[in-house]
Structure 1
Amino acid sequence: MTSAQPVHVAAVDLGASSGRVIVGTLEDGRVHLTETRRFLNGPVPLPTADGQRLYWDVLHLWSEVREGLLAAAHEVGPLCAVGIDTWAVDYGLLDHRGALTGQVSSYRCPRTRGAPERLFQTIPADELYAVNGLQVQDFNTVFQLVAQARDGGLPDARTLLLLPDLLAYWLTGQKVAEVTNASTTGLVDVSSRTWSAPLLDRLRTSLGLDLAGVLPALVEPGTVVGTIDREVLDVLGPGGSPVPVIAVGSHDTASAVVAVPASTSPGSGRTVDSAGAREGDPGGFAYVSCGTWSLVGLELDAPVLSEASRQANFTNELGVDATVRYLKNIMGLWVLNEAVRTWRAQGLETSYQDLDAAAAAAAPLRTVVDVNDTVFFAPGDMVARIAAAARATGQPVPRSVGEYVRCIDDSLALAYRRAVREATALSGTSVDVVHMVGGGTRSRLLCQLCADATGLPVVAGPAEGTALGNIVVAARGAGLVQGDLSDLRNLVRASSTLTRYEPAAAASSAWEEAEQRLLGRQAPTA
């Protein structure tokens, strides 16, 4: 159910490569999107005494967010609510005056190397997983904090705020920790959805990392954080009313998963009708949130904390409406974006549409790489790194831009195939459709390859899934719409143009051969 009159909700949606402010106008049972600001983002390298560090230019982001919200109010109409989502794990530290104590480190900063191993000497990996359910990634907040403790601790820090909560604080003056993003810190008990007091105590006694009083109260998506301070940003709602900031699924993947246009019972992952899927399909859905990162997994109503799940490095992150996002991080379009940056530095200007067409014309599965190899993690020349990976595995080195892009797309699809199969096996569930949301759905080739690799139909869209998921949760939190997660997804589905891709009937054996080749179990083909 939506408001009878048009109402406007703004989504601040910040990704690691770009940011945007998008207004959702709710009218006649649909959400119409208007982008009012888009800007580039990326880590900024700075030299330090112990080597180069990477930081986020948070003042630039703050300036762009303010301009985007002002433009939203002026160009579209009075705002009834604002929701904020960003990438996960990174944080700012505030002193007793509420000012930042220093730069905000980027998760791609090398400062966390060795931090997991240091923590596991005190808290074994299996014990940690039993509490937080997180895959081991050097950049998880808990490992960043371990590195910070090694480098001098938390001087003058009174409050730790993850990035969406930091922006919400600057707008409203209220300090909270939204739970979907907080679950990526490694400090939350994934079963109780609370900060883990035993874990925090062990960090204090074993590593001298005292977070008592530094972590703000956890709130669930839909909570009203506060209203925008007019002295900070002069935007008003209908009739000059204050504009509330709503805690949404502030981890961008949590918002993206809300926008999966499946008809479900909340938390069950069961699919009844998935944008053209057959009426009455008995299975569930998998999702691929495809942007800078690809997040591939399932929506569940309880975490999977088995030893097999830990060994497979699957993560349990919290979702909207008491759900769990059981998923694996895959490097995603970061690899392609960095390759494009290399080509443009060499003077080759090309559009993503041209790259998609060139890749579609290239030979399939000629060369595949492990996109999750750490060699692809840091910024740099991905073209050279792909060529080196091909040589190291005895595969043909791509010879053209089209072949490089095809290698990236094939390799991503192969990673999706493995992740979907592992997730269903480890969770004891079945799926009969894959939903792809996010900017990657604009690549028809990647969507088709996902269908071919998984052997499942793929429903692609919405492309602005994160913003749309943000908007519908913010609208519900502001009392503009009612209903559960199924109702929100009905609204998403009514507001989206979706495309269905069927898997090629004869594709399975080729993908199996490519997977075996990547695992080193079969000789490469010419």
Structure 2
Amino acid sequence: MGNKSVSFLAIDLGASSGRAMLGIVESGTLELHEINRFKNPIIDIHGRLYWDLFHLYSQILKSLKIAKNEGIEPASIGIDTWGVDFVSFGKDGEPLKMPYSYRDTHTFGAPEKFFEKISRREVYRKTGIQIMNFNTLFQLDTQLREQNPIYPSIDKILFMPDALSYLLTGKMVTEYTIASTSQLIDPYTRKFDADLLSAIKLNENHFAPIVFAGTTIGALSKSVQNQTGCGAIPVVAVAGHDTASAVLATPAANKHFAYLSSGTWSLMGIESEQPVINDTTFALNFTNEGGADGSVRLLKNICGMWLIEQCKKEWDNNDEISYQDIVDAAKQAQPFRCFIYPDAPIFASPNSMIDAIRQFCTETGQYIPQTMGEIARCIYESLAFRYKQVLNDLQKLASFPIDVLHIIGGGSQNDMLNTYTANAIGKKVIAGPSEATAIGNILVQAQTAGLVNNKQEMRNMVAQSFDLKTFLPEDIQNWESHYAEYLQATHNF
């Protein structure tokens, strides 16, 4: 590694907000500076839920202008987003409509309809991807079944980070980690599965060529240069799926760890050299997604801070509160009074999350939480027990002992949940960095620029550059005894 200071711009788009982060690499360390943060709202039009592609594009341009005004011209730019969603383009290279959000209810029940063509087991065998109603495969099949008028006009389908990179450069690619979330990719060949595409009346020509993290897509177009005052900055295909970027930035000392990428979603997994696709992973609905370095992320999607985020919206209607207010209220509430199953369908997109939680507790014969503190405590304790449940399953699948859980992402800042998680799993928890996704994005750009050589060097850099917190398990027997109550309350799921 050289001693020269080099700047990189990470555009990190989550399912509720986006941020532009400037990463400065110097002497084997990384500094991170936020230069723009913005909302990424889901737009409801006549009951259909969309993402505002052009809003995101305009915020990326704004971020470039901010950097330029501060006298910074980054060596490159990389974009990561949430998974599965995509933009359809016509032959003229223009988007046919705004992209649907994975929260759109039209895909409820979609997997079962698709399984009339190809069975659930065969779809899983082909892809190793967790069956979820909003996977790209089922979104596209829903559009086909509903005879969506744009469907016959689709020339190219680009996943969200690739679509935004295309708007910046005019160059179309399909980055592998984001494509791996779609349930359209064979994890062994790393190519699109022809049978699955045929079942939705598409072929591989409907997608841009697959590239791997670290590929330079192209430079900013003349139009973007004119609008921002920037030069022909390269745009790099980073690990386009935010979780793939975050996992890359896990400050692990060796491979004996599991990770929990904690945000709107919680994603818990391990790294594997090969896909793990068998009867056990099929029964447990585990997913095999692409890693930034070609490894496989064997993981489980778990409903995460979505539960708290949705409750907070309702509590804010009375009087705006902070997340710390919610944690403080939860601390005051009586422990272990009731539990929810975070991944129950009732919590996917309810009109009222608070009502959904109370309904779940009513239907399972438990105490019905009333106050903000009781509801928050129920969520946090239930999440900790759900993490324990999934970690136990991961240990059965792992070829190595899992000694530590690394919690990364925004949720890593919640000390109370980290404490609960350590107590529930009975293992050491290391929390941080909170901006793991942006860091992973920047590290791929740094590797492309020749400033870092491999994954372990990246992880060592993260460990040296950011403050981490360690949580050791306490009161294990008490948590273990209440885990049985959680299992009893959630055994139907």
Verify same fold: TM over 0.5: yes
1:155 is paired with a residue of what secondary structure?
helix
Query: Are residue 307 (structure 1) and residue 279 (structure 2) matched?
Result: yes
Cα distance in structure 2, aligned partners of 1:179 and 1:306: 23
Counterpart of 1:162, as a letter, is F
* Contact map agreement 2:424 2:480 (CA 8 A) in 1: no
Among 432, 456, 477, the residue aligned to 1:486: 456
Cα distance in structure 2, aligned partners of 1:236 and 1:288: 37
Query: Are residue 105 (structure 1) and residue 100 (structure 2) matched?
Result: yes
Give 1:379 shift.
Answer: 5.1
Query: Are residue 215 (structure 1) and residue 200 (structure 2) matched?
Result: no
Counterpart for residue 196 of structure 2: 199
Cα distance in structure 1, aligned partners of 2:231 and 2:321: 46
Counterpart for residue 313 of structure 2: 341
1:45 is paired with a residue of what secondary structure?
strand
> 5+ residue gaps in structure 1?
265-269, 271-283, 522-526
Counterpart for residue 6 of structure 2: 7
Cα distance in structure 2, aligned partners of 1:212 and 1:325: 24
Counterpart for residue 252 of structure 2: 262
Query: Are residue 21 (structure 1) and residue 11 (structure 2) matched?
Result: no
Cα distance in structure 1, aligned partners of 2:181 and 2:291: 11
**Superposed CA offset, 1:325-361 (max 9, x none):** 111111110110010001112x222111121122122
Counterpart for residue 291 of structure 2: 319
Identify the range of structure 1 (180-189 vs 151-160) with the bigger mean alpha-carbon deviation.
151-160
Counterpart for residue 84 of structure 1: 79
Give 1:234 shift.
Answer: 4.4
Counterpart for residue 500 of structure 1: 470
Q: Compute the TM-score of the two structures, normalised by the length of structure 2.
A: 0.96
Query: Are residue 388 (structure 1) and residue 378 (structure 2) matched?
Result: no
Query: Are residue 155 (structure 1) and residue 152 (structure 2) matched?
Result: yes
Give 1:44 shift.
Answer: 1.1
Structure 1 runs of 4+ with >4 Å offset:
234-237
Counterpart of 2:43, as a letter, is V
* Contact map agreement 2:192 2:204 (CA 8 A) in 1: no
Identify the range of structure 1 (133-142 vs 500-509) with the bigger mean alpha-carbon deviation.
500-509
Identify the range of structure 1 (356-365 vs 223-232) with the bigger mean alpha-carbon deviation.
356-365
Query: Are residue 430 (structure 1) and residue 405 (structure 2) matched?
Result: no
Give 1:215 shift.
Answer: 1.0
Counterpart of 2:263, as a letter, is G
Identify the range of structure 1 (173-182 vs 402-411) with the bigger mean alpha-carbon deviation.
402-411
Give 1:74 shift.
Answer: 2.4
Counterpart of 1:139, as a letter, is F
Matched ranges for 1:72-471 at <5 A: 72-75=67-70, 77-152=72-147, 154-201=151-198, 203=199, 207=200, 209-234=201-226, 242-264=232-254, 270=255, 284-345=256-317, 347-378=318-349, 380-471=351-442
Give 1:514 shift.
Answer: 3.0
Cα distance in structure 1, aligned partners of 2:134 and 2:71: 38
Q: How many pairs align?
A: 489
Counterpart of 2:160, as a letter, is L
Given the superposition, is the C-alpha separation of residues 325 and 84 from structure 1 closer, same or farther in structure 2, using an over 3 Å criterion? same
Give 1:211 shift.
Answer: 2.9
**Superposed CA offset, 1:50-83 (max 9, x none):** xx21111111111112111221232261110111
Give 1:235 shift.
Answer: 8.3
Cα distance in structure 2, aligned partners of 1:152 and 1:399: 45
Matched ranges for 1:31-110 at <5 A: 31-47=30-46, 52-75=47-70, 77-110=72-105
* Contact map agreement 1:246 1:478 (CA 8 A) in 2: no
Counterpart for residue 473 of structure 1: 444
Give 1:115 shift.
Answer: 1.8
1:371 is paired with a residue of what secondary structure?
coil
Counterpart of 1:133, as a letter, is G
Given the superposition, is the C-alpha separation of residues 114 and 509 from structure 1 closer, same or farther in structure 2, using an over 3 Å criterion? closer
> 5+ residue gaps in structure 2?
none
Counterpart of 1:225, as a letter, is I
Cα distance in structure 2, aligned partners of 1:516 and 1:118: 31
Counterpart for residue 277 of structure 1: none
Cα distance in structure 1, aligned partners of 2:90 and 2:474: 57
- Kindly, what percent of the aligned residue pairs are identical? 38
Counterpart of 1:369, as a letter, is I
Cα distance in structure 2, aligned partners of 1:167 and 1:350: 34
Cα distance in structure 2, aligned partners of 1:316 and 1:399: 39
1:232 is paired with a residue of what secondary structure?
helix
1:322 is paired with a residue of what secondary structure?
coil
